[in-house]
Structure 1
Amino acid sequence: MKNIAIISLFVFTLFSCKGKKTDSVNITLNDNAGARIAPKTYAEISIAEGGEWVDGSRGHKEYNSGTSFKNVDSLQVPAEHTDHSWFLRYEGPGWENSKIGYRLYLDWRNAIDIFGKKVDSLVLPYVGQDGFDSYHEPADWGQDILKAGKSMGIGSYGRIVADTVVHFQSVKNTFAIIDNTDNDSSVNIHYQGWKSGNEIIDLNTKLTIYPQDRYTKASLMPSKEITGICTGVVKFKEIPLIKKEGSQWAYIATYGKQTLVTPPDNLGMALFYNLDEVAEQKTGTDDHLVIFKPTIKTITYYFLGAWEQEPNGIKTQEAFIQDLNTKLEVLDKTNILK
């Protein structure tokens, strides 16, 4: 049964990195019968209110003097919006469960980032409320731990054209829809008129998180067959790539000191893909890449992060690889993680 998300301010108290008490936040859902439910997953997108678009110092429009943020169930991204235009709280949609959170930059970069969590509660309604990029600093709940740079981050998508990953610099319209249900939460994005190289397509994507584990299921639905649609994991110097193939599925992964934490600490990242859907796996300039075969069928893959500061989490590379191998066995047998 589908739920309507509401935010309730009680029970769970958060503190900033300086120890200053902030608003208490918790999340509840109302089901169709009106019963209050504490969800195990959550997704949101939040826009600034009370401001206006003005010419910015960086040569593009900025949303000026927004006084507060409002969650919305759906959004047509304004034509003026780009990176650091101050319109979207933490720059795009976010989704989480008790173990981990993710966010997608809903602009030309279109990278996916990781919110590492030190608590086993849902925290996204709090993140970014006390300053546009405050989530980069350590807090009691955790922080943004991944530097995506020019890459796709962890598990986002683009297209290889002439050995370069084309992000979403040229899109006619972008729509985002948030869906919170009893069983999972998802971010659905429709890119209308995405131009990459000499091709223009529509692309529907769905990013779903479940109550258990750390992974997100990604579904990509292109409107026509083109070569080069890809995903990947950000590449860091000195961090080797880990690879393994099963009978039907495979994974690529990295593990090591590859976080924004000071000093950097251990983070594992992995991406699972169906061998029948993939044309090539290779390393690019900024990403370890998985390149899909041309198709109009739904492309499905999974990605995850595992931070060593997560409560009762994975603390070593050996434990991380063991966890990945277990998931690979499940995928080979059932073709699904859920």
Structure 2
Amino acid sequence: MTKKFLTSLLLAASTTSLFALDTGTLVLKNKSSLNRENELIVLKRSSLQSKIKNLQPNEYLAFIANGKSVPVQFDDIDGDGKWDEAALIISFAPKESIKLQLQASKNMPQYQEAVFAHVRQKHKNPDQTFGPLVLRDTMPFNNPPTDFSKVVLPPYLTEGPAWENDKVAFRLYFDARNCKDIYGKRISGMVMDTVGSDPKNSYHNFSNWGMDILRVGKSLGAGALAIRTKTSANADTLIRVGGSAVKSEIFRVISDGPLRVMFEMTYSCVINNKPFTITERTSIWKGQYFYQSDLTISGLSATDELVTGMADFYENNGESLKSNNQNIYYSYGTQSENKDKLALGISVSNNSHTYMTNANSLQSEIKDTWLVSQPVNNGKVSFRFYALWEKTNTAFSSKEGVRDYFNKELELMASPVEVK
């Protein structure tokens, strides 16, 4: 369950405003020679208890760097009413070390800053407005796409859950298509509570906040899921995690900002008479151009592959970059719905079984997609999906700027922040 502290930005005006119960220190080191902007630092309660020996379940922590409080979000991951993780967003200079003083407190600081990340699901009311945030939702079996020739507004705002940060927004079709879409943003504020609520203001039109920038069609859009497996006749097949293959689909919010968002989609599926379950935990946080997907898969064999992808429409070229531990597959060109420059990218762990191909070369209902495949292995799969629109950042107006960005991403992922 999402608690009040999940949406509160815990920032003390000064260290003296806290009733300090115990103290400790952490040292964070940027091992890279690059600047790290808006780095997500996740600290588990278990590791913090080694620093604050007497930390109690009803206590919080302040993080002080150079005499100033660092914004922190406390997240209850397992829903038991106690926070499990502290999430901080910190920027580093090259090779910089930052010392954090920890102070335990029985009092939760009340100072609020801007919201930088948000997730929402809303149902349509009978009066054609949309209701409050829904924190848990079950999709009707094989729910058909909205027929806009019969209704003006869909049953869910923007046809399903949406998540955003200050750079980009995404949505998931909560129907049989089970595809993901992208909203390019021109402003940093949260917009997805209102986008799509008024049919006179179509999100397909360029506006001051941005627009829907991706054509989806029969593709996997912006990182939707599919399984590559063998039929009983040993034929290679690619099947979307959607439609009648999904027997149950459940949406659940874990945390709703202000610094990061986490939600889960749990799919109970049957493909080729083989039952399996996928739990996809999606997260997005301040200042980044991607969302991260962490999947737990049970019921599939090690020879099956988890496939995701990027829509392949209009003018674009597929490229790849590799480091020792990470691959980035991306496309770039005049492929936005605004007919301007857009890069789509997927980052996955580097192994010999990871590859990119095009869906049009396969026998599948999935079309017009750059596919990225990786083995199921031990049932743990992760990827990041990037959307780099030139109207969000002019650095993405050239292929050189996009390539530089992805090369920097590879270097930063190869040298994570050290926490001591």
2:310 to 220, 224, 233: 233
User: What is the Cα deviation at residue 279 of structure 1?
Assistant: 4.3
Give the partner amino acid of 1:155.
G
Question: How far apart are the structure 2 equivalents of 1:199 and 1:335?
Answer: 41
Question: How far apart are the structure 1 equivalents of 2:252 and 2:277?
Answer: 16
Cα gap change, 1:307 to 1:35, in 2 (>3 Å): same
Question: How far apart are the structure 2 equivalents of 1:216 and 1:81?
Answer: 25
Q: Tell me if structure 2 keeps the 8 A contact 1:105–1:112.
A: yes
Question: How far apart are the structure 1 equivalents of 2:353 and 2:142?
Answer: 35
Q: Tell me if structure 2 keeps the 8 A contact 1:277–1:299.
A: no
* TM-score between both structures, scaled by the size of structure 2: 0.65
Q: Tell me if structure 1 keeps the 8 A contact 2:297–2:376.
A: no
SS for the counterpart of 1:69 is coil
Aligned pairs for 1:152-301 within 5 A: 152-161=220-229, 162-170=236-244, 171-178=246-253, 179-192=255-268, 194-226=269-301, 227-236=304-313, 238-261=315-338, 264-276=339-351, 278-285=353-360, 286-301=368-383
Cα gap change, 1:2 to 1:304, in 2 (>3 Å): farther
Match in the other structure for 1:3 = 6
SS for the counterpart of 1:155 is coil
Give the partner amino acid of 1:167.
V
Q: Is 1:305 aligned with 2:387? A: yes
SS for the counterpart of 1:82 is coil
User: What is the Cα deviation at residue 136 of structure 1?
Assistant: 1.4
Match in the other structure for 1:122 = 190
Which string of whole-angstrom CA distances, capped at 9 and with x for unpartnered residues, describes residues 78-110 of structure 1? 337321162111011111111111111122222
Give the partner amino acid of 1:82.
P
More off after superposition, 222-231 vs 135-144: 222-231
Q: Is 1:84 aligned with 2:159? A: no
Q: Tell me if structure 1 keeps the 8 A contact 2:116–2:165.
A: yes
SS for the counterpart of 2:411 is helix
Question: How far apart are the structure 2 equivalents of 1:238 and 1:68?
Answer: 37
More off after superposition, 305-314 vs 92-101: 305-314
Cα gap change, 1:235 to 1:146, in 2 (>3 Å): same
Question: How far apart are the structure 1 equivalents of 2:292 and 2:128?
Answer: 33
More off after superposition, 307-316 vs 40-49: 307-316
SS for the counterpart of 1:70 is coil
SS for the counterpart of 1:329 is helix
Question: How far apart are the structure 1 equivalents of 2:218 and 2:417?
Answer: 32
Which string of whole-angstrom CA distances, capped at 9 and with x for unpartnered residues, describes residues 293-332 of structure 1? 1334321111110111115553211101100011011222
Question: How far apart are the structure 2 equivalents of 1:42 and 1:175?
Answer: 19
Match in the other structure for 1:317 = 399
1:102 to 158, 166, 170: 170
Segments of 5+ residues of structure 2 without an aligned counterpart are 9-72, 76-107, 148-153, 230-235, 361-367
Runs of 4+ in 1 over 4 A off after TM superposition: 29-37
Segments of 5+ residues of structure 1 without an aligned counterpart are 6-28, 51-64
Bigger Cα Rg: 2
Q: Is 1:46 aligned with 2:49? A: no
Indicate the structure with greater strand content: 1
Q: Tell me if structure 2 keeps the 8 A contact 1:108–1:167.
A: no
Greater RCO structure (CA 8 Å; 6+ sep): 2
Cα gap change, 1:212 to 1:4, in 2 (>3 Å): closer
Which string of whole-angstrom CA distances, capped at 9 and with x for unpartnered residues, describes residues 51-91 of structure 1? xxxxxxxxxxxxxx744333211111233732116211101
RMSD: 2.7
Q: Tell me if structure 2 keeps the 8 A contact 1:2–1:180.
A: no
Question: How far apart are the structure 2 equivalents of 1:47 and 1:326?
Answer: 40
Question: How far apart are the structure 2 equivalents of 1:313 and 1:47?
Answer: 37
Q: Is 1:330 aligned with 2:406? A: no
